[in-house]
Structure formats: C-alpha cells, structure tokens
Amino acid sequence: MRLLALALTLLALLSVALAWTKEDHEIFDLTAQIEAAEGKDTNFYSWLEVPSTASIAEINKAYRKKSLQLHPDKNPGVKGIQERFARLGVVAAILRSSEGRERYDFFYKNGFPRWKGTGYYYARFRPGLITVLGFLIVLTSGLQYVAQRITYKRDLERVQRFIREARTAAWGPKLTPLEGPRKVRVNMGPPRMDDEGNVISGRALDMVVDGPHVFILEPDGNRILLDTSAATPPALKRTWFISLVNSLIRRVTAKSSEPEGAAQADEAAEGEASGSESTSTGYVSEGAMKNGKPTAATATTMAGGRRRKAVRKR
C-alpha cells in the first residue's frame, strides 16, 4: 500500500509539473521572493501569522493588520518596503480566491519546485556514498540469495528425478519394492546430436537401489547415499557480504589467539631445555655411586646417553 501511495503521489506530481499554469509560476516566483525578503521557509500563512486552515475572515483580518505594519507611509525610507507591501497584497488575493488557494495548498503540502536556470524543477534526492554502498550491498546480496534459491530448486528436482528413475529401473513402472540391492544405470541427460547429425546418448550414472535408499555407485565400489540433503539450501549467511564479514571476524579472532598459543609453546620449550641441561651436566646422585665409583648406568649417562659395548683387551 505504501509503495502504491508513493507511486500515485509521484504520478500526481509529474502530471502537475507537466501542466503548470501561469498562475502556478506566479505562486513559485512569489514564494521565492518572500523567502528571500522575509527569511527562509517563510510561506503565505506564516507571513500573515495565520494557520493553514484559516478562514477568509481570518485571512482578511490578518492582512489588514500586516498591511498597517508594512504600509510605505508608516515606513518612510525603509529599503524595499514598496515591494514587500505589493507582495502582501498579491498573497492576500491568492488566499482569498478558492482556486488560487487550492493551487497554493497543493504545493504547500507537497513542496515547492525550485528554479533551475531554465524552469522550475523539484529537487532530486542525491544519496550519499554510504547510502549507495548500502543499496548495492543489499541489492547484490538479494540477487545472490535469489540465485541460490533457483539453484537449490533446480538441484532438488534433479535429485528427485534421479531417485525416481533409479527406482523405476530397479522395481519397474509400478514401483513395487523388491528385496535386495539392485544395480541400475540412469541417464544424466537427454540424448544429443553431434556435428555430423549422429545421436549420442547422454552420460549414464551407476546407481544402486537398496530398499528405501538409493546410492550412487563409484568406480571403486563405494556407495554414496543420494537424498534431498544433497542439494544445498539457500542461506543468507552464504551471501557474499555476510560471508566476507564472517571471514574477517574469524581472522581477527585467530590472530588474537595466536599470542596465547605462542606463550604456551615458549613455556613448553623452556621446560624441555631445562630438563636437557640437567641431564647433560653429568650430575650423579649418591644412590648412583658405589664405593665412590659410578655405576654402569651412571657411566652410560656420562658417556653421552648411549650405552657402549665394552671392548675386550687381547
């Protein structure tokens, strides 16, 4: 409904723009002159200090009061007072006329066009960079999501066709289930014509029907279950912008966790280094000594960690 109302409003404004009369241009010129002389956003009603719903009597009363304030005889030597007083009379005449007030109220509610050198035009909306980027992101992500839905629907129909054709080939046209697995071949595509006009059959797919399940048979004998889950459903998180944001978040979190892992690795390396130093110094405990001499195990350690075979003297 909102879009319809907006479209109707734009059509109304367009029709008015194409049918502006001499009186309309007079209203536009007068409005621009009043804003220049009395201040920005000053309109006929605010200048007379009456509401837009004022009656003819209220407008006449406000006009008489304002004309006394702006009369040239009471403001001698004031620059532009003659023009202001003349404009006040034109404003009062327009608001007193039912047709003139109707035309003015239309532009008062919907906005006044602005002078653009060759004529009056409505100011066009000029979106900023952020607005344009946001619109493009929403548009491209929406189109990508629509493409995902179309692809999902097509893949789903293709999977269902393979399952149906495999069961038909295994059980017959009545689809009466038979016991035991049955190997069948299903055409992946319709026949086609080559350059010479010969009919070439489509590529066939080896499948196995085993009860309620249908499998794709690979050359090595492995079976891959074929069902509707093989088709990837559409998801907003797989659109390019959300995927990009998630990827950046994962990278940031991975980098923030790297210092902790590096610190733990350094501590572990320091522990290993201290253990190797205690071994290589050759420290021998009292229990490892017998009569002031190192035992065989201690000698092995002192020799560098390898137990060497003793060489007999001849």
Q: What is the pLDDT of residue 313?
A: 44
Domain count, the chain: 2
Domain that holds residue 62: 9-121
Q: Are residues 99 and 147 in the same domain?
A: no
Q: Is residue 237 part of a domain?
A: no
**pTM value?**
0.46
Q: Is residue 42 part of a domain?
A: yes
Q: What is the pLDDT of residue 119?
A: 72
Q: Is residue 161 part of a domain?
A: yes
Q: Are residues 117 and 166 in the same domain?
A: no
Residue that is last in its domain, among 77, 94, 121 = 121
Q: Which residues pair with 185 in a beta bridge?
A: 206
Tokens of 177: 């289930």
Q: Is residue 77 part of a domain?
A: yes
Q: Are residues 185 and 204 in the same domain?
A: yes
Q: What is the pLDDT of residue 286?
A: 46
Q: Is residue 192 part of a domain?
A: yes
Q: What is the pLDDT of residue 280?
A: 44
Low-confidence ranges of the chain (pLDDT < 70): 1-19, 116-118, 120-126, 258-314
The Cα diameter of the chain in Å comes to: 147
Q: Are residues 141 and 110 in the same domain?
A: no
Q: Are residues 107 and 136 in the same domain?
A: no
Contact residues for 228 (Cβ-Cβ < 8 A; gap 6+): 156, 159, 160
Q: Are residues 149 and 96 in the same domain?
A: no
Q: Is residue 170 part of a domain?
A: yes
Residue that is last in its domain, among 121, 156, 191 = 121
Tokens 């079976």 sit at which residue? 223
Q: What is the pLDDT of residue 112?
A: 81
Q: Is residue 248 part of a domain?
A: no
Q: What is the pLDDT of residue 9?
A: 56
Residue that is last in its domain, among 208, 230, 252 = 230
Q: Is residue 21 part of a domain?
A: yes
Q: What is the pLDDT of residue 123?
A: 58
**DSSP annotation string for 34-93:** HHHHH-TT--HHHHHT--TT--HHHHHHHHHHHHHHH-GGGSTT-TTHHHHHHHHHHHHH
